[in-house]
Structures are given as C-alpha cells and as structure tokens.
Structure 1
Amino acid sequence: MKKRSFILLVGAIVVATAAGFITRSSWMGGSSNAQGPQRPRMVSVELAKAERKSVPVDVDANGIVTPISSVALKSRLETTIVAVHFEDGARVNEGDLLFTLDSRQIDAQIEQAEGVLAKDQAQLEGAQRDLRRYNDLVGKGATTQVNVDNARTQSDILTGTIKADQAALDNLKVQKSYTTIRAPFAGRISAANVKVGNFVRPADVAPLAVINQMAPVYVTFAVPQRVLVDLRESMTKGVSSVTATIPGRQNSETGKVAMVENTVDATTGMVTVRGIMSNQSETLWPGTLVSTKLIIRTEDAIVVPTVAVQRSQSGNFVFVVKDGVARIQPVSVDRTSQGISVISEGLSGGESVVVDGQLLLSDGTRVEPRAKKAGA
C-alpha cells in the first residue's frame, strides 16, 4: 500500500509540473505578441550648430621682443665720474640727467679761451681806430696811403683771429657739455657699470649703462612665404594686425605690421615680419620670447567644432542630424584653428552636427540629443 501511494504521489507531481509549464509558455507567448515589433535603437549624442560668422585668417609663430631704440652710454672725455643720478633699472624720461663727469679741466680751458678772445677783441678795436684815423689823415694829406692799407690789413687779420678764438671757445663748450650725460629718449635704464670716482675714457669697451625704449617695442617673427602675397595686400588695406602673448600667461599686446623683410630665406622658405606694439604697460620686455598671431584678414565662413569632423578613406565628413536621424555629410575643411574648423564645401550654416557620440553612429541612425558635458 505504501509503495502504491508513493507512485501515485510522484505521478501527481509530474502532471502538475507539466500543466504549469504549458500554462507559462502560453502566457509568455501571449505577452510577447502583445508588445508588438521592437523600436529601433536610439543613440544619445551631443549636438552643435554649424555657424556662419566672421573668422580671422591667421598664422601662428614664435617671436622675440626687440626695442625700437637701444643706446649704450659712453664717455666722450677722459675724466672721472662725479655723480650718478639714477637708480639701477629705473624708468627714465628724455633729458633726465644720468651722469655728471669732472669738468674742472675744461672749465679752466674755457676761461683761458675767453681771455684770448677778449685780448684779440681789444686789439681789433685798436686796429679799427687806427684805420679810421689814417683815413682822416690821408684826406688831409698828412699821411700816406701805405699807412691806411697797413691799418686795414691789421684790422682784417684781427677779425679772422677773433673768429678762430670764438670757434675754439665754442669747441670747449661742446666738450663741457659732454660732462653731463642725459637720457636721449624715454625708456628703462640698466644697472650702472661705473660708480662715483671711477675713471672713464672713450676707448672703454663696457658702456656706462644701457637704455632700452620700452614703449613702443618691436616683435620680430617669421612666417611661411605662401602668406606673403596675402600679407602685403592686407598691409595695403590696413587690415592686418599682430598679437603677442607671453607663453603661460594671459598677458598680451596687439599692434600692427611695421615691416616685412625684403627677401625670403632660401634655406627655410620663411620671411621675417616685424610688428610694432604700443606696450604702454610694459607687458613685453626686450628679449622675451613670445607666441605671436599674425591676423592677415577676416572673412565670413561656415565653422563647426573640429571634433565634429570625421575622417574616412573617401575624405572628411560630419554627421548632420535632421528629424532625429543622423546622416553622413561629406565636407571640405579649409583650415583649423583653436578648436574650430572652417568648412568651404558641404554645409550652408544652421545645420545640427554631432560633436560627441559618433562612434555609435552610421548613416540613418536615429539619435536623441543630450546636454553638454560639464566643463565642455
């Protein structure tokens, strides 16, 4: 009886399991049919607009700051330094007194020349009186014409002597002016290489100090010869400009092109360009290496973020999204600068292009836009 009961129990369990499986299969099938056909796959992408705007045609290069004027101050006399009137590295203005040299010897020579001049002037006055007297006497027949001629000759000789004396005095006064050294232009002066009491002379190799003009300044750099024609045309129209930036800093100065070298370096194919910057705040220091941007002109063009441009064996293309569908659009890229690509063919402006998520796309893929990433 026990064996028979066990067999009946096992049979009941098997029947119940089979019935449950059949019921589940029917329910699953019915549910699948209720859902209908599956929706196409959607890809989340980030979009940007193709814009038409004014963009610069520019060339990046490395340059160096050079002063427009730089003078090494030297003594024109053999004498000693009496006074130094500036602080090392100070800013000086045109005409500021910088050095005073010992002038006692020249002062004595000037006094001597003044004495010689005064003596010769007195002699000239005497000769002129004799000439007037002889002219009166010859009219009365009291003297000869020879005496008149001799008096006139003596007067002329003394006149020439006085001119020579005056020239010698003027030369000494010029020499005296060399005993005070003044700034020939406004700028910044270097450290003084001499101090009070040092003996200086014109043959010295080292200058007393050096003054560099700080505002304005030149920025010299080289550009490829292919931009030379466009650059010269823009200079004629007055639309070119130069921006110089100190590497690692936001400080920059903007100016204009002052000069283009008259020859192209045959070994490098580069031509030297010089820009002039106002530099009123002395941002650019002579000798500083800077990053320069030569803006030749500006022009209207279609631009997209460079990350939107994809490359394939057939050329460049972008994914253009319209009505939620991404389509491949071949484009021609004219140039790329600072994360922006200028499109010469393929876009007309206003299109939505994919800038992130292109790896999951193909022609005709349905997409949905998403917000830009933080910090993008």
Structure 2
Amino acid sequence: MTNKEELLSQLRIDRNQPTDGDGNTRLWIGIAAAVALVVTGFAVFTEPAPVKVKIEMARMAVPDSSSATVLDATGYVVARRTATVSSKVTGKVAEIYIEEGQRVEKDQIVALLDDSNTRKSLELSKAELHSAKTQVAETQARLTEAKLTLERNTELARRQLISAAALDKARADFESLRAQLNSREADIAVSQKRLALQQQNLDDLTLRAPFTGVVISKDSQPGEMISPISAGGGFTRTGICTIVDMASLEIEVDVNESYIQRVRDGQFVQAVLEAYPEWRIPAKVIAIIPTADRQKATVKVRIGFQVSDARILPDMGVKVAFMNAEPVVEEKPKEPLGVRVPITAVRSEGEDKFIFVVKDGVAELRKVTLNASYGTDIYIGSGLRAGEDFVVEITPELKDGARVEL
C-alpha cells in the first residue's frame, strides 16, 4: 500500500461508529492530522533537487606589462656568502650552541672548544708579568739609592774628601742599575705581549659566526676533535657547521655561447622556481663571467633576485627567461582590469548582466557591471569581489535562491 492509499483510508468515515459529540471530536482531529500528513508529504515530494554546478573563486586580473622573452635557460640558486666555521687550532669540542635551520647573527657564539690547557698558560703569563713588574720596582728603588750616592760622592770629590776611584764606582753602579731598569721594563713589555698572545689563543677557542646567516649543516658534536686541516686519517673534523647568508642568494645559469649575445649586464629576467611554478620572481643580470667552458660550450651568467623571500633556498632548480634587451621605459603601475570570469558565467537580460554567486550552498543572482571583454573572458568592474565563488556555466534550471551541489 502506498502512502497516498494510507492517507485516503484515514479520510474514510466509518458508518458503524457512534455519532455522539465525543465521536465527532475525534473524527475532526483525525481529519486534521490526515490533512497535515498530506501537505507534508506533498512538500517533500515536490521540493526540487539541488542543481549540480561547477564553481571557481573570483580573482583580480592585472594587465601584463612584461617585455618579450628573448632567451630561456635553466640554472640553480647559489649563495655568494657561505662559510664552514672552523677553529685556528686543533682542539676538542666542548659545547655547541646551534642546530640546522637556526638563524645566527654576526659574532654570535656557535661553539666552544676545551680551554683547560690554554687557561693555565694564560695564568702562567699573568704570573710572569707580575714578577717582571716586581723586579722593575726593586730595580727602581736601587737606582734611586745609587743616584743619591752618586750625587753625594760627587760633592765629596769636589771637596777632595774621597778618592776619584770611589766616585767612579758610584757612577758605574748608577749606570748599571739604570741599564738594568731599562732591561726589566723591556721584560714587562715582552710579558704583556705574551699575555695578549695567550688571551688570543683562549679567545680562538670560542667559535663565532663570521656573518649573519642560517645554519644549513651541523658537522660536529661535543667530545669530537676539530682541526683547521684534515688529520688523523679522516677522524678529525674540519668544521663545526656551515652558514649561508640568505641575503646573498642569486642564480647561476650556463648560457650556450651561441646565444650569449642576447644577454647583457643589467638585463631584466623573470625567474620561476621549480618548487613554485606559478610564482614569477623579478630578477636582473649581475654579471656575465668573461670566460667560456670549453667542454660544454657555455658561458656562466650571474642573476640577482630583486625580492627577498624565505621560500628561495640554496641549490633549488630555477628556470629563467631573459627579457627583451631593449631599454625598459618606466611606466606607472596599471590599474587592474577587474575580476576575470568566463563568458559562460554571465547571464544577459536586455542590457543588464547577471552572475550567480554561491554562498553556503545557495546560488544568489547578482547584477554586475563589465569593464571589458577579451575573447572568452569578461572582466567585471563591480558586483563580484575577488575571493567569492561564482558559477562557471549557467544552466537553464539554475534560479535565484536555488540550492546547488558542487
């Protein structure tokens, strides 16, 4: 039995039922319930199904002002400033304060080497300097005494109260002590320089970043030996870490020597990273290396980025397009053309233009104004904002307020 037959059976009047007041009341309640069921069922069966549509997000279109491409090439992103941080002397790594990917500033401490022996040598140099200063003070006191003795003997000799030999001995003692004082003052200078050397040796055990950059590799661990030269059959590390200055990133490409005449210094270049094929990066030729590779018959060209972005990384593959070598005329930025949509997304009613905007699964008919039309594309000036979803192709069954299925 269908739903309709059930509803009709409920509307039939049973002649055998009593016709008193209570029976009539129950009868009318039953009729009202049956009518409500019929209305509800009719609404369910007659509600239209969602319209299947294809939507896109509206995007603002800007006129392309780039010059014509005269040459395409491929290359890699390289860093002009990269350094492996090492030490001046062989030593054991005590502490490391960096990790891969960490940004470091110029002169920031990246590691410490074992300094126990160097500190003892420094303390010894300090003691030697103190001893030299003490000897100078002693000699200075003796020299003062010898000077007084010489002055007194000189006066006595003038009065002929002492012999000439006694005066000569006093003068010799004074000159000897003065020479000894000069020698010991020179020893102080030597001790100071030795102390400065030991202090420098101690400072060299503190390894610092030579410039601001990012750590791309960590090559040593605490407890390992490190040396400025390879030693120990390859068991001694030659560096703590490698730092790259991200501000020095540029592109190196090899251009076939048959086409190098199409490239010039300062030429504008459009670069596209293989990792981000939709991102066009403005760049410019820095230099053309004045030599050719005999094996590959190519000339190396350096290209500098005109923007800085964290997505640009060393050793990334990149495609470059050298723009027209004619001088570029500075132009004012062009105004956006508007929101670009295909011609199938616009409905015309007389001179008015409409588009369906989809929000929360419901299609809204919206009036728009057009800026321009090129081929199969239409540029909307008002009525549709960038970021809104619109129906790409309007179908006859699509109405204002209709539910849609994407």
The answer to whether TM tops 0.5 is: yes
**TM-score class normalised by the smaller sequence:** 0.5 to 0.7
- Give 1:148 shift: 2.1
Q: Which runs of 5+ in 2 are unaligned?
A: 1-64, 155-166, 230-235, 329-373, 378-391, 393-406
- Alpha-carbon distance in structure 2 between the residues aligned to 1:112 and 1:278: 55
- Alpha-carbon distance in structure 2 between the residues aligned to 1:94 and 1:180: 14
Larger mean Cα displacement after TM superposition, 220-229 or 271-280: 220-229
Which residue of the partner structure matches residue 184 of structure 2?
158
The answer as to whether partners of 1:242 and 1:255 remain within 8 angstroms in 2 is yes
What is the letter of the counterpart of residue 144 of structure 1? A
- CA-to-aligned-CA distance 1:126-172 (integer Å, 9 cap, x gap): 22333333233323326532212211221121122112111111111
Which residue of the partner structure matches residue 318 of structure 2?
290
- Give 1:192 shift: 2.2
Q: Percent identity?
A: 19
Q: Is it true that 1:130 corresponds to 2:158 in the alignment?
A: no
- Alpha-carbon distance in structure 2 between the residues aligned to 1:79 and 1:145: 55
The answer as to whether partners of 2:284 and 2:306 remain within 8 angstroms in 1 is no
Which residue of the partner structure matches residue 210 of structure 1?
242
- CA-to-aligned-CA distance 1:112-132 (integer Å, 9 cap, x gap): 110100100111122233333
Larger mean Cα displacement after TM superposition, 178-187 or 221-230: 221-230
Question: Structure 1 length as normaliser, TM-score?
Answer: 0.58
What is the letter of the counterpart of residue 126 of structure 2? E
- Give 1:174 shift: 0.9
What is the letter of the counterpart of residue 105 of structure 2? N
Q: Is it true that 1:245 corresponds to 2:275 in the alignment?
A: no
- Alpha-carbon distance in structure 1 between the residues aligned to 2:138 and 2:83: 51
Instruction: Evaluate the alpha carbon distance shift between residue 109 and residue 206 of structure 1 in structure 2; reply closer, same or farther with a 3 A threshold.
Output: closer
- CA-to-aligned-CA distance 1:355-376 (integer Å, 9 cap, x gap): xxxxxxxxxxxxxxxx94689x
The answer as to whether partners of 2:109 and 2:208 remain within 8 angstroms in 1 is yes
Which residue of the partner structure matches residue 14 of structure 1?
none
- Give 1:231 shift: 4.4
- Alpha-carbon distance in structure 2 between the residues aligned to 1:178 and 1:208: 14
What is the letter of the counterpart of residue 76 of structure 2? I
Note the 1:187-336 alignment, pairs <5 A.
187-203=213-229, 204-225=236-257, 231-232=263-264, 235=265, 238=266, 240-247=267-274, 249=276, 250-266=278-294, 268-277=296-305, 280-295=308-323, 297-298=325-326
* SS of residue in 2 equivalent to 1:262: strand
What is the letter of the counterpart of residue 315 of structure 2? G
* SS of residue in 2 equivalent to 1:215: helix
Aligned residues: 248
Which residue of the partner structure matches residue 55 of structure 1?
67
Q: State which of 66, 69, 75 in structure 1 corresponds to 2:81.
A: 69
- Alignment RMSD: 2.9
* SS of residue in 1 equivalent to 2:76: strand
What is the letter of the counterpart of residue 269 of structure 2? V
Note the 1:19-98 alignment, pairs <5 A.
55-56=67-68, 58-98=70-110
Question: Structure 2 length as normaliser, TM-score?
Answer: 0.54
Instruction: Evaluate the alpha carbon distance shift between residue 205 and residue 106 of structure 1 in structure 2; reply closer, same or farther with a 3 A threshold.
Output: closer
